[in-house]
Amino acid sequence: MSRALLIVDVQNDFTEGGALAVEGGDAVASAITAHLAAHADDYQVIVASRDWHDPSGDNGGHFSDDPDYVDTWPVHCVADSEGAAYDPLLATDAVTHHIRKGQGKPAYSMFEGTTEDGQTVGAVLTEAGVLTADIVGIATDHCVRASALDAIAHGVLVRILTDLIAGVAPESSDAALAELAHAGAELVESSAG
């Protein structure tokens, strides 16, 4: 049974010091690196996504000078910028597929992005025969949530590794995890094997 690890948006703009920093982001980057060091061989596919927004324009209304932090946001993760780069604490040598999302439009789920050669996450998982996926990354209440819901919709059994995620706010993160559990995701710590 093929298994995937989906690493969502562990980028400089979402970790400490970034444009949309999430508390605990650097710790999550380090913990994912440790998990990969111990478990990379457990996965047939390791997919990492990044927001990769266009440098000009508002990216389909995604960027705003007066953001509501629900549908509009300050400028972040502009293509080829330091903010869009992976957090340096995340080791990406085991990643098999790099996904870029939000190129000119809002995109929360990694399933909305593509590899450099245009392949979707759904296609990557189907081609590899993936039936289960562990999901980690940032932010629990936004892009992790959206990616996990799309993985479930794709027919994959999802585990959220709860010690390898960080959210924007405790209330919205708890709500997202409850929603994911209700949708069929298993909430476990990475040490659960």
DSSP secondary structure of 39-100 = HGGG-SEEEEEEE-B-SSS-TTTTB-SS--SSS-B-S--BTTSTTTSBPTTS--TT-SEEEE
Contacts of 86 (CB under 8 A, 6+ apart): 10, 11, 12, 48, 50, 92
Contacts of 124 (CB under 8 A, 6+ apart): 45, 47, 97, 115, 130
Three-class DSSP category at 30: helix
The two tokens of residue 159 are 């585990």
Residue 91 contacts residue 100 (beta carbons within 8 Å): no
The two tokens of residue 22 are 């999430």
Alpha-carbon gap, residue 114 to 179, rounded angstroms: 26
Point out the residues that are catalytic.
Answer: 9, 101, 143
